[in-house]
Structure 1
Amino acid sequence: MIKINLNHMKNLSLGLLLGMALMSSCKKDKSTDNTTPETPIRPITAQSKAYVNQLFDFNPAPGQFDNTGIGDTVAAKSTLNGDQGLVSLGAWGGYIVVGFDHTILNVPYKEDFIVYGNAFANFSEPGVIWVMQDTNNNGKPDDTWYELTGSAQYKDGYTRNYSVTYTRPKCDTCSVPWKDNKGKTGFVKTNIFHKQPYFPIGIKGDSYTLNGTLLPSSNINDDDPTYITSAAYDYGYGDNTAGGDKIDIDNAIDAKGNKVNLKGIDFIKVQTGILYNMGWLGEQSTEFGGAADLSMLKN
């Protein structure tokens, strides 16, 4: 027969209970330490505007409208506050960064904001759209950019982590040489219609590099050089369809291409997506005419 020491059992049970409580406390502390704070949401107030109202960066690629009335910082500022101005972003990679005075909430299964351009029937110049949350709540676009994918994502020629280096030409009116990170080279070609320098006057060095996502040029038909068309993609890009492009935040992906769930966004970046010379029409260059929170528009 086995004899049981009741006092020993009581002490053992008490020890086990204390140990389990301590382990539970440690797990809770560890979990709390690893918790990421929720992204701050800036609510809509009576003073909030539907349209982007802050210009944070304008960095155009070389192009036929650079250093002109629709290719400079003044033109970039004209796209704010619903003024419906227009700015050209130049060849591939040129971009603009703007912000809202409130957080645009991500409404499931619905487009959340609209980006304006100057696309029309049979002619679009699609721009890749990036979004950012003001995670650190400092009012500046210095957190993480997320690409919003569109219908070109799975087409041949879609390339993430793409970059192009543009080099200052030998003369102000010479075509601008470029080289990409795939070893390809070419020129942003000048034409007879625009005789000002195509290399941005704001660039102080002899070259600069732009990074982003390259969209396929398969939507362009230049078989007839006198009538070149550039069909719109189905969805997801700026300067893609007449009247503006409605954009869904649910299409955001991270740097590895994985889908991310964003509660809302505070800043957007629009970037020329196609690298292509369109003959007498010049380079493909996305135009940006502003953006608005769809939840605040009456129509």
Structure 2
Amino acid sequence: MNNQFKFLTYLSCILILISSCKKEVETPDTPPVITGLEADYYVVVKEALLLKPVIENVADSIVWVVNGQRVANALQYNFQAPAAPGTFSLIVMVYNRGNISQKVIQITTGQYLNWETTTNTILPLEASQKFTNKTDVKWEILSAPSDLYRLSANNATAQFTSVSRGTYKLKVSSADLVDTLLITVRQTAKPQSPFIYKVFDYLPAPGQFVNELPKYNAGDTYETMLTKVGKELIGEDANLITLGGWGGYVVIGFDHTIVNVAGRRDFRIYGNAFGANANPRPNAPFGGSCEPGIVLVAYDKNKNGKPDDDEWYEIKGSGNFSAENELWYSSAVNSKNDTRTIRNYEMTYHRPTVETPGTPDGFISINNYIQWSNNQGQRGYKIKNTYHAQSYYPLWVKDEKITFKGIRMAQNGIEESGQGSYFVLYAYKYGYVDNYPNPHDNSGIDIDWAIDKNGNKVNLPGIDFVKIYTGVDQENGWLGENSTEVGKGEDLHMLGSNIATVN
């Protein structure tokens, strides 16, 4: 018993001794996580790059190592590029209890600021920080593999876009401050189409081809009619649709930005204009069936894929402010046409109350057919002719009246026979759809003709969307109303067409 007691006493002492010698085990921290840094950077020689990582979890120490040499122990590191170009391996290491996390970064230094983009895409540019508060920053192209590009600058910011692949060298300067940029333009991964890609909106004004181009069927809605318009206009094998009388419109888009190339016309929207074969007027200017559609353009500033109300600019055609310089103007005045150009015009059309004609009066089947009024204090009726029996009012529209707003151009249709049988609709000089035959140079549109709502010229890098609306309100006897028709749309640069502009 005595020996057993001694053994237990001895064992207890041993356990106490072991317990007193045992060290407390430390629990490691959660490993730090490094974010906020890119894997690669490009820095112009003699410029600085401030690196500010975001560290999650506890960080006891942050160490920066460049090309194997420790250069800093701080929360951030200011890399100073030397005078000679080179490549640098930078490692940032973050320590805490029981952990080391690191991120490897490669820094390349060179003489140029490098940018990359793809064809027919707007690249926003911003001058480097050394140009801060400078108000005389200039941008210029030093070398380019093609002249199919646009550089639109506004002091310290600019926008660049190009049709062609390759490397473009740019200079940014303000007095003695200079930066040189290299922009590498690559082909897009997905092939781009030079033709209309999408139809966003369609609302024709009443006219003799409405509900026929495209065909309305009972039960059609706005959505189904928009789909029908898309089937007619999208792609290379497009057909015609009608915009009806004054104000009727369509909004289309492309799958890329049409580049605003200096000195050239940039796009064309087809119509069905043609010249008169037997105009009795000697030495007459070009005319026949010219039904000009006014053009608005927009580029996708906010990248939401659709045109917004604040993005539209007016293409200033030759008659947007006055027709006095048109070659046919004096003849139109002598014919007692309404030759005024009204820039804030509004016109309302009412749904017809009668569709069934009475006894025809020549080419007129219903004389007081569609009631209209405008913001000039005028009102009257559009006729229904004997050649088109369907309703001229867009039947998918549920409203009893439709109001359009825009520019009403001078009436360009002149009856030349003196007997009411030969109407010639004369062409405006430039700037419209369905105003010249499609192959004619004057069917091309230059984006540089764009102006803002105050009439000021704008410097657009390119455009993504186009709106066309019928620009003339005129009845031309048996020929019917002046109605713009719209067909295929095409990017002239992608198709290799070089059409010089006019100023």
Alignment map for 1:24-39 (pairs within 5 Å): none
Per the normalisation by structure 2, the TM-score is: 0.50
Aligned with 1:78: secondary structure? helix
Q: CA deviation at 1:40?
A: 9.0
Alignment-derived partner of residue 20 in structure 1: none
| Matching residue of 2:459 | 261
Q: Are the aligned partners of 2:195 and 2:235 in contact in 1 as well (CA < 8 Å)?
A: yes
Question: Are the counterparts in 2 of residues 278 and 284 from structure 1 also a CA contact under 8 Å?
Answer: yes
8 Å contact kept, 2:197–2:252: yes
Partner of 1:85: 239
Aligned residues: CA RMSD: 2.6
- Confirm or deny that 1:236 pairs with 2:434: no
Q: Does 1:282 align with 2:480?
A: yes
Counterpart among 188, 192, 199 of residue 382 in structure 2: 188
Aligned with 1:65 (options 193, 205, 209): 209
SS at the partner of 2:199? strand
Q: How far has the Cα of 1:41 moved from its partner?
A: 6.1
Give the secondary structure class of the aligned counterpart of 2:478.
Answer: helix
CA distance in 1, matches of 2:468, 2:230: 12
Does the 8 A contact of 1:55 with 1:77 survive in 2?
no
Q: Which residue of 2 aligns with 1:94?
A: 248
Higher relative contact order (CA 8 A, sep 6+): 1
Contact 2:448 2:460 in 1 (8 A): yes
| Correspondence 1:114-263 to 2 at 5 A | 114-121=268-275, 122-142=288-308, 143-153=310-320, 154-155=322-323, 156-173=339-356, 175-217=369-411, 219-222=412-415, 223-244=418-439, 245-263=443-461
Distance, in Å, in 1 between the alignment partners of 2:161 and 2:488 is 22
Contact 1:75 1:85 in 2 (8 A): no
> Alpha-carbon deviations, 1:136-169, whole Å to 9, x = none?
1110011421110111133252221211111112
The 1:268–1:40 alpha-carbon spacing in structure 2 relative to 1, beyond 3 Å, is farther
Assess if the C-alpha contact under 8 Å between 1:40 and 1:135 holds in 2: no
Change (3 A) 1:177 1:250: same
Return closer, same or farther for 1:67/1:108 CA change in 2, 3 Å cut-off: same
Which amino acid is 2:347 matched to?
Answer: V
CA deviation map 1:151-198 (0-9, x unaligned)? 113325222121111111212355211111111122221101111111
Structure that is richer in strand per residue: 2
State percent identity of aligned pairs.
43
1:39 shift after superposition:
6.7
Taking the aligned partners of 1:242 and 1:188, their CA distance within structure 2 comes to 28
Q: Following TM superposition, by how much is the alpha carbon of 1:75 offset from its aligned partner in structure 2, in angstroms?
A: 4.3
C-alpha distance in 2 between matches for 1:36 and 1:197: 56
Decide whether aligned partners of structure 1 residues 278 and 258 sit closer, same or farther in structure 2, where only a CA change above 3 A counts: same
Q: Kindly report which structure 2 residues correspond to 1:99-118, keeping only aligned pairs within 5 A, or say none.
A: 99-118=253-272
Equivalent position amino acid for 1:287 in 2 = E
Structure 2 CA distance for aligned equivalents of residues 227 and 70 of structure 1:
28
CA distance in 2, matches of 1:80, 1:224: 42
Cα distance, 1:38 vs. partner? 6.2
What amino acid maps onto 2:341 in structure 1?
Y
Provide the TM-score with structure 1 as the length reference. 0.83
* C-alpha distance in structure 2 between counterparts of 1:135 and 1:253, whole Å: 16
2:494 corresponds to: 296
Q: One-letter code of the match for 1:140?
A: K
The code of the aligned residue for 2:464 comes to D
CA contact (8 A) 1:42 1:103 kept: no
Contact conserved, 2:408 with 2:473, CA < 8 A, in 1? Answer: yes
- Runs (5+) with no aligned partner, structure 2: 1-128, 136-154, 164-186, 217-224, 276-287, 324-338, 357-365, 498-503
Aligned pair count reads 271
Alpha-carbon contact 2:213-2:242 (below 8 Å) kept: no
Deviates more, 1:237-246 or 1:90-99: 237-246
For 2:215 and 2:468, the matched residues in 1 are separated by 15
Q: Give the letter aligned to residue 181 of structure 1.
A: N
**CA deviation map 1:227-248 (0-9, x unaligned):** 1110111111000111251000
Q: Which moved more, 1:37-46 or 1:185-194?
A: 37-46
Deviation for aligned residue 1:69: 4.0
Which 5+ residue runs of structure 1 have no aligned equivalent?
Answer: 1-24
